[in-house]
Amino acid sequence: MYSRNAVIGMTLFATVGAHTSAFAENDAEVIRKSDIEWSNSAQSKDVDTWVAHYSSDAVVLSPNQPAASGNEAIRKTIGGLLGLPGLSVKWRPLKVEVARSGDIGYLHGTYELSFDNPNGGRIEDHGKYVEVWKKQPDGSWKCAIDMFNSDVPASQ
Amino acid sequence: MYSRNAVIGMTLFATVGAHTSAFAENDAEVIRKSDIEWSNSAQSKDVDTWVAHYSSDAVVLSPNQPAASGNEAIRKTIGGLLGLPGLSVKWRPLKVEVARSGDIGYLHGTYELSFDNPNGGRIEDHGKYVEVWKKQPDGSWKCAIDMFNSDVPASQ
Residues of A in Cβ contact (< 8 Å) with B128 = 61, 67, 147
Q: pLDDT value at position A89?
A: 98
Q: Is B5 on the interface with A (CB under 8 A)?
A: yes
Compute CA A48 distance to the chain's CA centroid, rounded to the nearest angstrom: 16
Q: pLDDT value at position A154?
A: 87
Contact A130 B147 (CB under 8 A): yes
Contact B100 A99 (CB under 8 A): yes
Residue among B65, B84, B91, B146 with most chain A CBs within 10 A, to mutate: B65
If pLDDT is split at 50, 70 and 90, which confidence band does A25 have?
Answer: confident
Q: Is A6 on the interface with B (CB under 8 A)?
A: no
Q: Is the pLDDT of residue B14 over 50?
A: no
Q: What DSSP assignment string belongs to chain A?
A: -HHHHHHHHHHHHHHHHHHHHHHHHHHHHHHHHHHHHHHHHGGG--HHHHHTTEEEEEEEE-TTS--EESHHHHHHHHHHHHTSTT-EEEEEEEEEEE-TTSSEEEEEEEEEEEEE-TTSSEEEEEEEEEEEEEE-TTS-EEEEEEEEEESSPPP-
Compute CA B156 distance to the chain's CA centroid, rounded to the nearest angstrom: 31
Contact B106 A104 (CB under 8 A): yes
Residues of B in Cβ contact (< 8 Å) with A97 = 104
Residue among A100, A133, A146, A156 with most chain B CBs within 10 A, to mutate: A100
Residue among A2, A3, A10, A12 with most chain B CBs within 10 A, to mutate: A12
Q: Is the pLDDT of residue A6 over 50?
A: no
Q: Is the pLDDT of residue A20 over 90?
A: no
Residues of A in Cβ contact (< 8 Å) with B156 = 155
Residues of B in Cβ contact (< 8 Å) with A5 = 5, 8
Give the minimum alpha-carbon distance from B147 to chain A in angstroms, rounded to a whole number: 8
Within 71-110 of B, beta carbons closer than 8 Å to A belong to: 97-101, 103-106, 108
pLDDT in tens, B79-133: 999 999 999 999 999 999 999 999 999 999 999 999 999 999 999 999 999 999 9
Give the minimum alpha-carbon distance from B6 to chain A in angstroms, rounded to a whole number: 9
pLDDT in tens, A118-147: 999 999 999 999 999 999 999 999 999 999
Average pLDDT, chain B: 89
3-state secondary structure A57-75: EEEEECCCCCCEECHHHHH
Chain B nearest-CA residue for A134 = B99
Mean pLDDT of B35-50: 98
Q: pLDDT value at position A155?
A: 76
Sheet holding B141-150, edge to edge: B68-69, B54-61, B141-150, B122-135, B104-116, B88-98
Q: Is A111 on the interface with B (CB under 8 A)?
A: no
Residues of B in Cβ contact (< 8 Å) with A132 = 106, 130, 132
Q: Is the pLDDT of residue B22 over 80?
A: no
Q: Is the pLDDT of residue A86 over 70?
A: yes
If pLDDT is split at 50, 70 and 90, which confidence band does A13 have?
Answer: very low
